[in-house]
Structure 1
Amino acid sequence: MSHAQGGGNAGARVKRPTMVDVAREAGVALRTVSRVVNNDPTVGPEYVAKVKAAITALNFRPDERARQLRTGVTGTIGAAVRRIAETNPALAAIEQTARSAGLTLLASSTDFDESRERDILVSMCRQRLDGIVVEPFGESHSYLEPELEAGVPVVTMDRPMSGLPVDCVMSDNAAGIGMAFHHLYQHGHRRIAYLGDSERVFSGRERAAAFRTALVAHGQPVSGLVHPGDITAERVAAALDAVLQGPNPATALVTGNPDTTIAVLRRLGPQAASRLAIVAFDDVPLADLLQPALTVIAQDTATIGRTAVELLCARIADPSRPVQSVVLPVSLTARGSGEVPVPATSSAATL
């Protein structure tokens, strides 16, 4: 094996300075260095100045792993969100609020996959993070019961965890759907249909139920107008065929979440979509650039993310506090699609 000439230690890992080196440089006891590093207010200012000068001279960095083992506090929280490959206002708000609280964020995407969600959450628990914010997707999270009993703080966004007593922040699903239905009804529509997420999902179940309630309250038939389910191109196409074909087609549509909205718009195409009144639950990218622009029930996603971290910090500070569920209001943003009038003929959105 050949060796590089000169500098026999070239490429060797440089030994980091330790608190022993700092103590030697500052001319103080090792215990004094430890107290300064840990912000002990009882250390005299002259010793603080000596230690800090030595830290600067040596470029010393405290060993975070040792501090974590000693205190049991990592200064890190986890966020398991459904998607981070695109702009995520909730995640941005989580990161900003966490940073303001002196916390580092470790985020991972579950990609709407129940087994991946479980792997991520179990891994975060094993890393002994200070707490976890999660957008739960799976139907069961019973595997987290031992972690909750061990004191791991968990807060959910968008929906609660079935059967587990954890803090939660979400939007007012029922009010939002009622708002969307009423808006379309006010514009003369009487055949209003709903396409949304699977009712296995809490928010999908709440929104579909709220739509059925709105139909009944307005004296409209429920049969054939409510279509929750998995968000696939095939399922959405079949649901649209069901509500838009036949002698008495729907003239207006409420979509239950952004993925459903995008699938519906792709299936309809720009011409058919422009002839159908649509109100979407939650905004989608470039919604204001569609023709007509998309009317939406707007969630305050940034406030959801910020509130989730605030709840988590409160839970970390007081593990015995009562479990809290925060429901945030939504608002209707009228841009044009929800104001499309009832067509003169019933074939306005024929596919």
Structure 2
Amino acid sequence: MTKASGRRSRRPTMVDVAREAGVALSTVSRVVNQDPTVGPEFARRVQTAIDTLGYRPDEQAQQLRRGTSRTIGMAAREMSARNPLLAEFERGAYASGLTVFAASTADDVERERTVVLSMARRGFDGVVLEPIGPDHSYLAPEIATGLAVVAVDRPVAGPETDAVLADNAAGIDMAYRQLAAHGHSRIAYIGDHERIFTGRARAAAFRACLSADGRAVTGLVHTGETVQHRIDVAMRAVLSAETAATALVTGNVTTTFAVLTYLAAEVPPERRPALVGFDDFPLASLLDPPVTVISQDSMAMAHAALNLMTARLAAPERPLETVTVPVSLIARGSGERPPVH
């Protein structure tokens, strides 16, 4: 899918703000640097001009004034061991003469905003983002003035950007059909909160599988926060004696871990349901039984993200592009168990 991108304008400067507000450049500088001695009327006029023009402070210029960047580098031996997409992207970027400085957003909306805006205002050419927040409108002024953004795993909510997505619907369909092919007619889904793009897409795909088979959705789809307590409650519901599910599809690796934790503590091995998890993980083949998974192609997603980023940097006006990367099913045993009656 492609969409045309708009032309990028020059980034507003403090000179523009001063002209808009009808004040001296030094007054703008004092307001931007939070000088408490600026009169309230001047401060109001400057802030109104900042909002009108979409001015963003240049952090590099502020660093020169302060004599400090308020930024710490960390050159760790390994930062991307738990994120194969980042590891592959780093390798490709280095080979292309690009340097990657990565920071964790820790699934925190405000931290994501702070990290991304800091990167933009430190003069980064582009940002590859695994979006978390429900609104990324704060990125629009940065994109308009030259920041290249590539969203990975889920799209940005707000301004349109290049994006790399996994084929979520196909993956859920593979998981459901694998379990159905091994005799399961009562299959339940436990997944992430549906405010998240991937959680919403995967839950919708599972409901579509049930509907296509003429099965009721009631009691078989449980979504929400990926915390152990919530998933324990969902597991008790789907494994209740009257309507017990004989098979499960889990919507992401965090949910898979929580489900496996519950099964190990609460369900004897011979009574455990069949399981297919979305996302592969390093120890999946070592468990008993080994875990059948829907595997995202991290290498292909990283290469696609790097290609989109380098293409955007070379041609800022090129049409926006979304790349959907196929997924695959790895059958290891847990998804091939027959129903337990």
TM surpasses 0.5: yes
Is the 8 Å Cα contact of residues 170 and 328 (structure 1) preserved in structure 2?
yes
In the other structure, the counterpart of 1:163 is 158
- CA distance in 1 between counterparts of 2:184 and 2:280 reads 22
Deviation track 1:148-169 (CA, whole Å, cap 9, x = no partner) reads 1111000010010122210000
Q: Quick one: which of 294, 297, 305 aligns to 1:297?
A: 294
Is the 8 Å Cα contact of residues 140 and 162 (structure 1) preserved in structure 2?
yes
Matched, 1:319 2:313: no
- CA distance in 2 between counterparts of 1:130 and 1:285 reads 33
Q: Please give the secondary structure, in 1, of the residue aligned with 2:262.
A: helix
Matched, 1:203 2:195: no
What's the C-alpha RMSD, in Å, of the aligned pairs?
1.6
Is the 8 Å Cα contact of residues 254 and 278 (structure 1) preserved in structure 2?
yes
Q: Quick one: which of 241, 263, 270 aligns to 1:268?
A: 263
- CA distance in 1 between counterparts of 2:95 and 2:279 reads 27
Matched, 1:306 2:303: yes
Q: Please give the secondary structure, in 1, of the residue aligned with 2:280.
A: coil
Question: What letter matches 2:172 in structure 1?
Answer: I
Distance 1:307 1:273, change over 3 A: farther
Question: What letter matches 1:222 in structure 2?
Answer: V
1:272 Cα shift?
4.0
Alignment of 1:1-351 (within 5 A): 86-269=81-264, 272=268, 275-343=272-340, 345=341
- CA distance in 2 between counterparts of 1:291 and 1:232 reads 23
Deviation track 1:50-78 (CA, whole Å, cap 9, x = no partner) reads xxxxxxxxxxxxxxx9xxxxxxxxxxxxx
Is the 8 Å Cα contact of residues 265 and 273 (structure 1) preserved in structure 2?
no
Q: Please give the secondary structure, in 1, of the residue aligned with 2:231.
A: helix
1:187 Cα shift?
0.5
Gaps of 5+ in 1: 1-64, 66-83, 346-351
Q: Alignment length, in residue pairs?
A: 263
- CA distance in 1 between counterparts of 2:299 and 2:223 reads 27
TM-score, scaled relative to structure 1 = 0.73
Is the 8 Å Cα contact of residues 133 and 156 (structure 1) preserved in structure 2?
yes
- CA distance in 2 between counterparts of 1:223 and 1:248 reads 11
- CA distance in 2 between counterparts of 1:111 and 1:219 reads 40
Is the 8 Å Cα contact of residues 91 and 305 (structure 1) preserved in structure 2?
yes
In the other structure, the counterpart of 1:36 is none
- CA distance in 2 between counterparts of 1:85 and 1:147 reads 27
Distance 1:134 1:272, change over 3 A: farther
Is the 8 Å Cα contact of residues 279 and 296 (structure 2) preserved in structure 1?
yes
Question: What letter matches 1:339 in structure 2?
Answer: E
Q: Please give the secondary structure, in 2, of the residue aligned with 1:240.
A: helix
1:285 Cα shift?
2.7
- CA distance in 1 between counterparts of 2:269 and 2:228 reads 16
Is the 8 Å Cα contact of residues 294 and 328 (structure 2) preserved in structure 1?
yes
Deviation track 1:3-47 (CA, whole Å, cap 9, x = no partner) reads xxxxxxxxxxxxxxxxxxxxxxxxxxxxxxxxxxxxxxxxxxxxx
